[in-house]
Amino acid sequence: MPSYDVMPNMELYQPVRVEDALDIASRYADRGWLVGGGQDTYGWLKDRAKRADALIDLSAIESLRGVRETADGIEIGALTTLTEIAENGLLKQSYSLLSKAASVVASPQIRNIGTLGGNVSQDVRCWYYRRGLSCYRAGGNLCYADTPQGMNREHSLFETSRCVAAGASDTAPALVALDATMVLRSIDGERTLSAEEYFVGPAVDIENTTALRTGEILTAVRLPKAWANATFYYEKVADRNVWDFSLVNVAAAFQVENGTIQESRVVCGGVQATPKRLRSVEQAVQGKAKGAVIAASVASIASEGARALAHNGFKIPLMENLVKRAISA
């Protein structure tokens, strides 16, 4: 792919109201590109790997920022930066799982600009797809990574339907573990989806990673009061502690009473295109004493059904060990 020093020509819109942004997004449909912090946008457009007629910059819409208490829990504006989420007192006190996840995204500079909405809505990371090759996800008829010679160290272990690219968000598994609700708006109104429903894999939609429809904007994320102040565990393993995407991460939330796990949500990232909720693990630990004994006995359940590619087999024991650590902590 050739290298370019400048962005391609396109219209730029900078609305200050959600209603105006929705009108523009509806008018341009799939020819418009929504941007918050821009961390996943500018590389795509600069390299001409993806194109748009209009860039719709949402960063001036103040109503999409901030962390607010509600009767049912917490609502976070989609344009709230990752740094703000990592440092917010309400989140650190009651939903530290999310603040921890936000604190390990990329680097401080990126967290200062990148937003929660952008982090959870970013596209998958794959050398071949990102370089503009005509793979399945880009409308072609081949997965370059899923070959004996393919570079697939960072790729998926599960749900590898034609595309084996893995999801890159550090905060997405935490939102699934917290049973978050995603608030989506269009000119036709508002709808909500659970975080699990928001993320979609290649078997459902090979060209998109979220359930956002054309013309829709993710406006907020809601965290339910039911999981406030639970017992949380988050850990990310990457090649470097700064900048790099997760090889595997784990986000876990436990309702514990007298040392016994009453309910749990255990989720891994980096192992498929969407956050992978480990329901078999959750069922196995329910009613058991939280600690090393049950952790050791159920760790192998986490990787059931995994299909290692030529170079990512190390992810299987890594995933098992992260789940073991989450339960034993």
What confidence tens digit (pLDDT) does each residue in 58-75 have? 999 999 999 999 999 999
Q: How far is CA 247 from CA 61, 143, 170, 272, 296, in A?
A: 34, 20, 10, 11, 22
Query: Residues near 230 by Cβ (< 8 Å), separated by ≥ 6?
Result: 97, 253, 254, 255, 256
Q: What is the pTM of this model?
A: 0.97
What confidence tens digit (pLDDT) does each residue in 296-307 have? 999 999 999 999
Q: Which of 243, 118, 239, 220 is nearest to 169 (CA)?
A: 118
Please provide the CATH number assigned to the domain covering 11-60. Answer: 3.30.43.10
What confidence tens digit (pLDDT) does each residue in 234-287 have? 999 999 988 899 999 999 999 999 999 999 999 999 999 999 999 999 999 999
Q: What would the two tokens of residue 57 be?
A: 């910059």
pLDDT grade for 48, boundaries at 50, 70 and 90? confident
- Residue holding tokens 């959870």? 120
Q: Which of 282, 280, 229, 281 is nearest to 97 (CA)?
A: 229
pLDDT of residue 49: 80
When computed from its CA atoms, the radius of gyration of the chain, rounded to whole angstroms, is 20
What are the boundaries of each domain within the chain? 11-60
pLDDT at 30 over 90: yes
